[in-house]
Structure 1
Amino acid sequence: MVFPAITDVTMAALCPGKDECSLAIYLSGFQQAMIGLGTLVMMPVIGNLSDQYGRKALLTLPLTLSIIPLAIMAYSRTTSFFYAYFLLRTLTAMVCEGSVNCLALAYVADTVPEGQRAAAFGVLSGICSSSFVFGTLVTRFISTTATFQVATLVSMLAAIYMRVFLKESVPIDDSLSQPIIIKGDPDLNVDQNDDHGDQPLKKISSISVYKNIPSIEDLTCLLKSSTTFSQAAVVAFFNSLAEGGMQAASLYFLKARFHFNKDQFADLMLISGIAATVSQASTGIPNFRDFVSFNVHNDKLLFMPLLTPIIGEKKLLSIGLLVGCVNTFLYSISWAIWVPYALSVFTVLAFFAIPALRSIASKQVGSNEQGKAQGCISGISSFANIISPLIFSPLTALFLSDRAPFNFPGFSIMGIGLATMIAFIQSLLIRDISSDSKSQNQYSLVA
Structure 2
Amino acid sequence: MEKLSGLSHLFMTIFLHNFAAFMVIPAITDVTMAALCPGKDECSIAIYFSGLQHAADNVPEGRRASAFGILSGIGSSAFVCGTLSTRFLSTASTFQVATAMGMLSAVYMRVFLPDSIVNDNLSTPIMSEGKLDGIVNQDEESDKKIQMFKTLPSIEDMLVLLKSSLTFSQAAIVSFFSTLSDVGLHASLLYYLKARFHFNKDQFADLMVITGIAGTVSQLLLMPILAPVLGEAKLLSIGLFFNCVHMILYSIAWSFWVPYAAALFSLLYVFSQPCIRSIVSKQVGPCEQGKAQGFISGIGSFANVASPLLFSPLTALFLSERAPFNFPGFSIMCVGFASMIAFVQSLMIRAFPPISSERVSNLH
The TM-score normalised by the length of structure 1 is 0.63
Aligned to 1:43: none
Give the CA deviation at 1:218. Answer: 2.5
Give the CA deviation at 1:343. Answer: 0.9
Of 299, 305, 313, 1:394 maps to 313
- How far apart are the structure 1 equivalents of 2:56 and 2:111? 14
CA 1:163 to 1:137, structure 2 compared with 1: closer, same or farther past 3 Å?
closer
Matches within 5 A, 1:283-322: 302-322=221-241
Give the CA deviation at 1:428. Answer: 0.9
Aligned to 1:26: 48
Aligned AA for 2:360?
Answer: Y
Aligned to 2:11: none
Give the CA deviation at 1:147. Answer: 3.2
- How far apart are the structure 1 equivalents of 2:274 and 2:47? 30
Aligned to 1:5: 27
SS at match of 1:204: helix
- How far apart are the structure 1 equivalents of 2:209 and 2:96? 21
8 Å contact from structure 1 (residues 364, 441) kept in 2: no
- How far apart are the structure 2 equivalents of 1:345 and 1:333? 16
Aligned to 2:330: 411
8 Å contact from structure 1 (residues 226, 441) kept in 2: no
Question: Per-residue displacement from partner, 1:349-383 (whole Å, max 9, x unpaired)?
Answer: 00111111222222222222222211111111111
Aligned AA for 1:260?
Answer: F
Question: Per-residue displacement from partner, 1:290-323 (whole Å, max 9, x unpaired)?
Answer: xxxxxxxxxxxx3223212321211111100000
Query: What's the RMSD between the two structures over aligned residues?
Result: 3.7
Give the CA deviation at 1:114. Answer: 7.9
CA 1:151 to 1:202, structure 2 compared with 1: closer, same or farther past 3 Å?
closer
8 Å contact from structure 1 (residues 7, 251) kept in 2: yes
- How far apart are the structure 1 equivalents of 2:297 and 2:104? 31
Structure 1 gaps, min length 5: 30-101, 180-199, 282-301
8 Å contact from structure 1 (residues 392, 412) kept in 2: yes
The TM-score normalised by the length of structure 2 is 0.77
Aligned AA for 2:217?
Answer: V
8 Å contact from structure 2 (residues 287, 357) kept in 1: no
Aligned to 1:323: 242
- How far apart are the structure 2 equivalents of 1:109 and 1:366? 10
Matches within 5 A, 1:218-257: 218-257=157-196
SS at match of 1:235: helix
- How far apart are the structure 1 equivalents of 2:222 and 2:262? 20
1:432 aligns with 2:351: yes
Aligned residues: percent identity?
59
- How far apart are the structure 1 equivalents of 2:350 and 2:56? 33
CA 1:4 to 1:441, structure 2 compared with 1: closer, same or farther past 3 Å?
same
Give the CA deviation at 1:229. Answer: 1.0
- How far apart are the structure 1 equivalents of 2:293 and 2:69? 19
Question: Per-residue displacement from partner, 1:18-68 (whole Å, max 9, x unpaired)?
Answer: 222122111322xxxxxxxxxxxxxxxxxxxxxxxxxxxxxxxxxxxxxxx
- How far apart are the structure 1 equivalents of 2:320 and 2:216? 37
1:138 aligns with 2:85: yes
Question: Per-residue displacement from partner, 1:207-249 (whole Å, max 9, x unpaired)?
Answer: 4967754233321221011111111111111101111101211
Give the CA deviation at 1:169. Answer: 6.6
Residues matched between the structures, number? 324
